[in-house]
């Protein structure tokens, strides 16, 4: 099939509210030698998209200026140095940008096959959350079987993925969420217990739940607002892994004594600035260790809502309302 010269995509009229996003027509993205061109069927909506739209998370040098960090579809063309992928293959990809479009490029190393039985929506819901959770919870956080983990934002796309993978690999997950409906969802996805942070102090409740010992790992997307409660919630040799700062990145009256007394490790990372080689290593580990679990029908992403590409404004408004449980998706083709 011959490729078109033009495609529909979401463009932005400057930075700001969701309404700056508009449907537009423009040329297909240029493919680099190590990339594939994907005919996009679905794309995921993620918090970094919100930040980029607001102007606080610019794309790295060389990346597409268009929104969208994950997609699924069919390979439409392959770069000159690409091996292992062919035109027509069904892939999902962690992109460097540009997934809110009919066509998107992605480094071949950042592509993975659709798990058995998956459609485009479910496949597109995988890359951003699974890459993030694997890199932070299992690589940086070193979560091991038998350990206890606290996952903040348990009803988010990241949270649902983290709960399921923690349980799958033998850990005991706990979570926080902002309503009784959301905490109930966390339990359904595999949490030992979930805490409504609006009605309970999670550090106090977690101490009760763990017999005073605390948890071995915390995956935190809230940041500053939870700093001291996080330290109180960790056990000896515990690890705090920061992946976002929805509650701010700065802390007043932060007492670091707990870090020394408990021998704690505090770390964090972002995904987008990593090199293709680094992301490719994560993809290889996911393919070897996690994709067999997905092929077997376990740890599936939770889809809250799907909008057409033209509904990107409504999708962003829903994400900003925090009323969703699981992933928000865009159907492109």
Overall average pLDDT of the 170-183 stretch = 98
Q: How far apart are alpha carbons 64 and 68 in whole angstroms?
A: 9
The yes-or-no verdict on residue 1 having pLDDT over 80 is no
Cα–Cα distances (Å) from 87 to 73, 83, 123, 185, 315, in that order, read 11, 11, 18, 39, 31
pLDDT at 185: 97
Rounded to two decimals, the pTM is: 0.96
Maximal CA-CA distance, the chain: 64
All structural domains of the chain = 6-126+272-331 (3.90.180.10), 130-268 (3.40.50.720)
For residues 81 and 245, the model is more confident at 81
Burial (CB < 10 A; 0-12, 13-18, 19+), residue 56, is: exposed
- The token pair that represents 98 in the structure block: 């540009």
pLDDT at 2: 87
Question: Is the CB of residue 33 less than 8 Å from the CB of residue 67?
Answer: no
Which stretch of DSSP H or E encloses residue 36?
A: strand 35-45
Question: Is the CB of residue 171 less than 8 Å from the CB of residue 147?
Answer: yes
pLDDT band at 128; cut points 50, 70, 90 = very high
pLDDT at 59: 92
Share of residues in the chain with pLDDT > 70 (%): 100
């Amino acid at each position: 099939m011959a490729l078109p010269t033009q495609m529909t995509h979401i463009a932005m009229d400057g930075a700001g509210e969701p309404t700056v996003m508009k449907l537009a027509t423009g040329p297909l993205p240029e493919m680099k030698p190590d990339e594939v061109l994907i005919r996009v069927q679905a794309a995921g909506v993620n918090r970094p998209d919100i930040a980029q739209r607001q102007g606080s998370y610019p794309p790295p040098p060389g990346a597409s200026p268009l929104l969208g960090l994950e997609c699924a579809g069919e390979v439409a063309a392959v770069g000159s140095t690409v091996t292992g992928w062919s035109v027509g293959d069904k892939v999902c990809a962690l992109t460097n940008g540009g997934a809110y479009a009919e066509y998107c490029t992605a480094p071949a190393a950042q592509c993975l096959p659709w798990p058995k039985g998956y459609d485009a929506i479910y496949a597109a819901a995988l890359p951003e959350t699974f890459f993030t959770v694997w890199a932070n919870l299992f690589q940086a956080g070193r979560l091991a079987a038998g350990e206890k983990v606290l996952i903040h934002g348990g009803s988010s796309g990241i949270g649902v993925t983290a709960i399921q993978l923690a349980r799958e690999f033998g850990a005991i997950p706990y979570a926080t969420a902002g309503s009784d409906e959301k905490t109930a969802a966390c339990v359904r996805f595999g949490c030992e217990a979930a805490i409504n942070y609006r009605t309970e102090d999670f550090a106090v409740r977690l101490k009760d739940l763990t017999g005073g010992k605390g948890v071995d790992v915390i995956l935190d997307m809230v940041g500053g607002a939870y700093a001291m409660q996080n330290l109180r919630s960790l056990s000896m040799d515990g690890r705090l892994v920061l992946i976002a700062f929805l509650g701010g990145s700065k802390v007043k009256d932060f007492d670091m004594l707990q870090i020394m007394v408990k021998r704690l490790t505090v770390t964090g990372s972002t995904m987008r600035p990593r090199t293709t080689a680094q992301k490719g290593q994560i993809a290889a580990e996911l393919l070897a260790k996690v994709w067999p679990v997905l092929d077997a029908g376990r740890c599936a992403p939770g889809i809250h809502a799907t909008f057409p590409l033209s509904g990107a404004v409504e999708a962003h408004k829903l994400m900003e309302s925090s009323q969703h449980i699981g992933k928000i998706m865009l159907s492109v083709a």
